[in-house]
Amino acid sequence: MSLFLDSFVWGLLLAAPLWWLAWRLHLAYWVPRLLSLLRRRSVRLPAQLQPLVLLGKRQQDREGRRA
């Protein structure tokens, strides 16, 4: 029982400053955004749409109409 209480106290002593640091640095906001940037995948388009899209921007016809 003593070992459990010692482990519990040490866990609290270590977890409280780490939680405060995570809260202070807004890690709940930044970590998902950084992970999504690391996991960014290229988009595969169907063959009929590939001529219409270049670098994520829609190409327009020469007359100015939308494609």
Within a domain: 64? no
Look at residue 18 and tell me if it is in a domain.
yes
Q: Looking at the domain assignment, is residue 31 inside a domain?
A: yes
Q: Answer yes or no: is 67 within a domain.
A: no
Q: Which residue has the higher pLDDT, 62 or 33?
A: 33
24, part of any domain: yes
Which residues constitute the domain of residue 24? 2-58
**Which ranges of 1-67 does DSSP label H, i.e. alpha helix?**
2-24, 27-38
CB distance 59 to 49 below 8 Å: no
Report the pLDDT value the prediction gives residue 42, as an integer from 0 to 100.
72
pLDDT of 47-60, one tens digit each?
Answer: 776 566 565 555 55
Q: Is residue 29 part of a domain?
A: yes
Whether 42 is covered by a domain: the verdict is yes
Phi/psi-derived region of residue 26, left when phi > 0, alpha when psi is between -120 and 50, beta in every other case: left
Q: Count up the domains in the chain and report the number.
A: 1
Length of the chain: 67
Inside any domain, residue 41: yes
CA distance 5 to 1: 6
The SS3 call for residue 25 is coil
Q: How many angstroms separate the CA atoms of 47 and 45, rounded?
A: 6
What digits encode the pLDDT tens for the residues 5-52? 899 999 999 999 999 999 999 999 999 988 888 887 777 777 776 566
pLDDT value of residue 13: 93
